[in-house]
Structure 1
């Protein structure tokens, strides 16, 4: 091989080596860049998912936040956002946080705007979410709830009764309208189907035999004023309306209503009496108040709707115990905040009518209400309008 040929071969080898090294470095750079980009993309995706989780969490918090004052809504939403805590994830550098941005108030709705940032390592993804809060005054919200309760009207009436005094056992099989006063004396018992009482119904005390009177209505019942001054057992197997004051003041008396009930202008339990409502109960205390003496017990297995002129006045005559197995709705002309509705989680409750699943208590001095679900003094519905990525 000549020297020229050897030189050419060496040159070719050097050129080939240079090209291989150059392309190798380029490919290596691209590979490293792609790997970094892939890692960054994965972090961005995870950050986006974290932010989306924050949006879902925020919606749930808004849905369960009752009693927000519309006048101070902006301050309350700021506090709500500040107090939202991201649940723990795999590492300490994976989380989301919520920031309140703005609110726009309309007549019956408010628009709340939040920024939710998801953070994964060095990547952050921020979403802007808009929620519509639909609310109404506590009065109108309870009015709506009341109108949705199922109170079936009495069936066509077949007979009418005038003034009636009963001292023995009497059964009326047909639906009846009582046009005058009805009084049970000396432990008298009355059993009837659907009944309308146009005038006061009284269960008078029997000081001689001390026998308890009994009233059993197997259909719906409508009363004007009801007063059980004697030991009384009252059973209504469907719905019950009390258009005027209800008083059960005989010792160890009891009221049982299988369906829903409405009480207007006063509800009174004294002398260790008790009342049990299997359905929901609506109480309008615009005239007379809710009065429970110490030792008396009211149990509402459905929801309990209360409309009173003043929140403080409602507690004024409440010395007994109320157990609400559903939600408690309070409508008042006062501006009631969550601070007025005391809700705690007791570790143990002495002398509690219910022994388990009692998450909240409302108490004022010796007056106690056990609420198994929630105490609500404002009606809110929350919808997620937009999420901007």
Structure 2
């Protein structure tokens, strides 16, 4: 009689269902299963935010609630991008931060938050995740027990749809949209700067040259009366001499004012000669080095000149330096400026020396402004501007 083998030896072992699943497949499965609970949370967040913010929009709290919800949506988007990186291997850059507000006021913040495209796209993404999460959760969970041989292919297809959704709604907006947001913020800075410059010119004219010319007219009027009365004595000569001095002072102030608007040497001879000229008026010895094979566009040249001019004025007034230097050069499509001094240091954007205004002006034209000024010195300030060729600028205007 033949011995019967144990039944366990006769039947093959149960198949290892998930042995063929690699690590990435398990990550994708985890992502799809997490879609449902996260989709529920996101859907509830959006519905509550829109209901509360929209329903209370007629009151003073509705719009601020909606603005705060949009800021919170940015954090949801950040978490979802991190989840996509960790589980789907999808690398998505972070979108641009909220643009800085010039006046830091409540209404400025409110308006900027309400029109934030990143927040609104994330709200749409969160709203869509609930129905999609139900589908992916059901298919994945069922596939683990029914469709396991083909589940990796199903999972890959579902996660590819997830990747498209993340790219479409959570990736940074295109360059044009980003630049529109930045330019909307920078436009106000440019307008304020231009208005401040006009006020400065009006003040200089009113308090300086205009006042001197009024005094000159009065002095010449008195001298004329004395001449008509036949009193051509030393008093008249002194009055004419004083009027002559006032004329010279008024002319000098008008020249300085014109130089402050746009110096003739910059137009005629370029940045190297103009910076050497402004450096010669600094109370600290300044070495100027300019390595520019060609001239940049007039607008860029003007911004560079006035940046250096204001920095040298700060060195004269505040630094206590014994020497300084200005270096200007071109690197690829950027114009770089570096101003150094061996003064006491401690310069910053909030020091009341006009640094914040310079940073705003450069930021308005896609430039950079960096201060390195430890207490005790030295101070190194680097400014960077986009390079535009002068010839191209002329042809564009023509």
TM-score by length of 1: 0.27
Higher relative helix content: 2
TM-score by length of 2: 0.26
Higher relative strand content: 1
